[in-house]
Structure 1
Amino acid sequence: MNNQLLGTDYSVPTIKFRLKPQNELNAIAKKVLHEEASAIQCVAEALDRTLDFAQCVEAILSLRGRVVVTGIGKSAHIAAKIVATLNSTGTPALFMHAADAIHGDLGMIQPEDFVIAISKSGDTPEIKVLVPLLKRKGVPLAALVANADSYLAVQANYVLHAPITREACPHNLAPTTSTTAALALGDALAVCLLESRDFTSADFARLHPGGTLGKKLYLKVGDLSRQNQAPQVLENAPLREIILEISGKRLGATAVLSEDDNRLLGIITDGDLRRMLTNYTNLEDVRAHNILTPLPITIDIDDFAAEALARMQQRNITQLIVTDAGRFSGFIHLHDLLREGLV
């Protein structure tokens, strides 16, 4: 070990702070939220003063290439998020850091692409270096800026104006209101493109196959009900057969089908069996048709599993009978949905 390091003080200096009362903290938070909400309202009103936004949407819709979104500093983080939103809603997009662009990343831009540059001031040194290089490539350029008179805005083909008067930071320094306004305008652009393309929930599901969101959009009732047994008895089944069917197949219920053509007549649940004990003294004579609940809540095998969850929650039940073209097919249980992480 280097002897010169011995005795060196590596302690971290204490960070001083004064914890404000809860009501004061809430007041500060509300002030920030109100200021940022007001800024977004100003952005919305600015849309009416220019045709650039609609023309930008039209230009992107006619693209053969990708949307490349770029920025520097906090604007780069906003650019990356907008790229993620565009990609997930059907608009191919790439992120390019403005500083890296002049060190090789500019090569990702192809002649048929469209560039969106995000900058609050529109006059940063990196942007001033980048813009002439983009214009030399001949690609359309949209400026997402707070300052509509900036260098970037003047040089761009389209101006997406996100005006703000000040940052929510008390020193008017930390990018807060400006980044929120830019992000909101980027979201508005993505949704306009989505709706213009008639991008459906099925399209969304194809791009989001993983996680809970994907399951809500693509997992069908049949995917789960086929894994379960399908408890069923005929309408004249005796009580012993009913109990064995419910307990043996462990779904807490059984479907009741007609003797002649296997039509679905109703459902018998554990609760129905308990209520039966108060209504019947001679259990030997009890048949399925005596204790079934008619017109049970059903769901089609091709419906989304998320819809099954919604029906269970609405009716405060734990299972649904699954039908296929109107015929009994099986059951889906709340436990199936819990296992898939939909609850």
Structure 2
Amino acid sequence: MKEKTTVNIRETAKRTVRLESAAIGSLEQFINDDFEQTVELIAHCRGRVVLTGIGKSAIVAQKIVATLNSTGTPALFMHAADAIHGDLGMITAEDVVICISKSGESPEVKVLVPLVNNLGNKLVAIVGKPDSYLAQSAHFVLNTFVTQEACPNNLAPTSSTTAQMVMGDALAVCLMELRGFTAEDFAKFHPGGTLGKKLYLKVADLSRLHQVPKVLKSSPLREVIVEISSKMLGVTGVVNESGGLEGIITDGDLRRMLEKNMDASGVKAADIMSRNPKTIQHDELAVNALDLMREYDITQLLVMKDDQYHGIIHLHDLIREGII
């Protein structure tokens, strides 16, 4: 290894970004009939998409598998080297096989390709050399040719692996749109973590964890204080004799009343409540409740089920669930 030389770190990083950006930009010219037919082939496939490769291409294949699985296209990874030692058995008759390689000439790929073709499966090549063995042996070719790696020696897979990954993303997104894959579908495959909760957690899932603080318009101040204190939400809904929602009282309303030195002996709930409180329907997404709280700079919403008061959702509920 040679002695270290002075390097302009920022310029090197910028050059890397420019080279890889150019590699991605050049892919647009390779979106052709083969690409379109590959999307249609996968969309109508009754099996899975099996992605394979060697070296860095194998790592890219694993990422594309993860993207396809999470967006509604069943996929699995088969390492090209392991395939010829037993893993070839994971391919079923109705699967589509995608082989990823920069050169299309790797020894493992040359061994694997005729075996896949002998099985009768459709073979798609994501390859940087359209005249390579892999490309010539595949049914469809997705060209990921790059003029230059970002590596200063033009050797380490950098621009080429970026191009491979983007081509895989293009496949996944086209398949999503072709199938009408929605945010609700996405949530089914991502039930864990903040992302999943934003897509499926409903207001009722959180409000049902609390008791429902509620007083009548005619309730005396003492009952209001006890209700707010016992339900431990810092708020209570105010209803009429028919159960219809009339307003809201918060612990802040109580403090402001005391600051005015009001005679509390005859105070009723109706005297201090705020009318037309902010509400949300029980079947709305919890993340929508957060949007409303931010819009109105409040910490709770009254939850409605149709036209009936149903409970409270508090900012703390959203924090606890990681929505924020």
With structure 2 as the length reference, what TM-score do the two structures score?
Answer: 0.93
Q: Provide the rounded CA distance (Å) in 2 between the counterparts of 1:185 and 1:294.
A: 56
User: 2:247, 2:277 within 8 Å by CA — same for their partners in 1?
Assistant: yes
Which residue of the other structure, out of 243, 250, 255, is the alignment partner of 2:232?
Answer: 250
Bigger mean CA deviation after superposition, 145-154 or 117-126: 145-154
Q: Provide the rounded CA distance (Å) in 2 between the counterparts of 1:30 and 1:276.
A: 61
Which residue of the other structure, out of 160, 184, 208, is the alignment partner of 1:202?
Answer: 184
Task: After the TM superposition, list the runs of 4 or more consecutive aligned residues in structure 1 that deviate by more than 4 angstroms.
Answer: 16-20
Q: What's 2:9 paired with?
A: 25
SS in 1 for 2:309: strand
- CA shift digits 1:250-279 (9 cap, x unpaired): 1111111123x2111221112222333345
How far has the Cα of 1:280 moved from its partner?
A: 5.8
Counterpart check, 1:37 vs 2:21: yes
- CA shift digits 1:286-339 (9 cap, x unpaired): 322232222222222112222222222333222111111121111111222222
- CA shift digits 1:142-167 (9 cap, x unpaired): 11112222221122111112221111
- Structure 1 gap segments, 5+ residues each: 1-15
Which residue of the other structure, out of 281, 302, 317, is the alignment partner of 1:321?
Answer: 302
Q: What's 1:299 paired with?
A: 280
Amino acid at match of 2:244: R
How far has the Cα of 1:133 moved from its partner?
A: 1.0
* 1:257-296 alignment runs, 5 A limit: 257-259=239-241, 261-279=242-260, 281-296=262-277
Q: What's 1:331 paired with?
A: 312
Q: Provide the rounded CA distance (Å) in 2 between the counterparts of 1:117 and 1:91.
A: 17
Q: What's 2:133 paired with?
A: 151
Amino acid at match of 1:309: L
Q: What's 1:4 paired with?
A: none
Number of aligned residues: 322
SS in 2 for 1:237: coil
- Name the CA shift for 1:331/1:18 in 2 (closer, same or farther; >3 Å): farther
Amino acid at match of 2:293: M
Q: What's 2:174 paired with?
A: 192
Q: Provide the rounded CA distance (Å) in 1 between the counterparts of 2:5 and 2:224.
A: 69
Q: Provide the rounded CA distance (Å) in 1 between the counterparts of 2:60 and 2:72.
A: 19
Bigger mean CA deviation after superposition, 307-316 or 226-235: 307-316
How far has the Cα of 1:118 moved from its partner?
A: 0.6
Amino acid at match of 1:277: L
- Name the CA shift for 1:339/1:165 in 2 (closer, same or farther; >3 Å): same
Counterpart check, 1:105 vs 2:87: yes
Q: What's 1:183 paired with?
A: 165
User: 2:30, 2:142 within 8 Å by CA — same for their partners in 1?
Assistant: no
Counterpart check, 1:81 vs 2:63: yes
* 1:94-133 alignment runs, 5 A limit: 94-133=76-115
Amino acid at match of 2:15: K
User: 2:42, 2:49 within 8 Å by CA — same for their partners in 1?
Assistant: yes
With structure 1 as the length reference, what TM-score do the two structures score?
Answer: 0.88
Q: Provide the rounded CA distance (Å) in 2 between the counterparts of 1:320 and 1:60.
A: 46
Which residue of the other structure, out of 104, 117, 121, is the alignment partner of 1:135?
Answer: 117
Amino acid at match of 1:273: L
Amino acid at match of 2:46: R
Q: What's 1:237 paired with?
A: 219
- CA shift digits 1:198-251 (9 cap, x unpaired): 122222222222222222222221111111111111122222222221122111
Amino acid at match of 1:34: R
Amino acid at match of 1:96: M
Name the % identity. 58
Q: What's 1:46 paired with?
A: 30
Q: What's 1:9 paired with?
A: none
SS in 2 for 1:265: strand
Q: Provide the rounded CA distance (Å) in 2 between the counterparts of 1:190 and 1:116.
A: 13
How far has the Cα of 1:33 moved from its partner?
A: 2.0
SS in 1 for 2:151: coil
SS in 1 for 2:115: helix
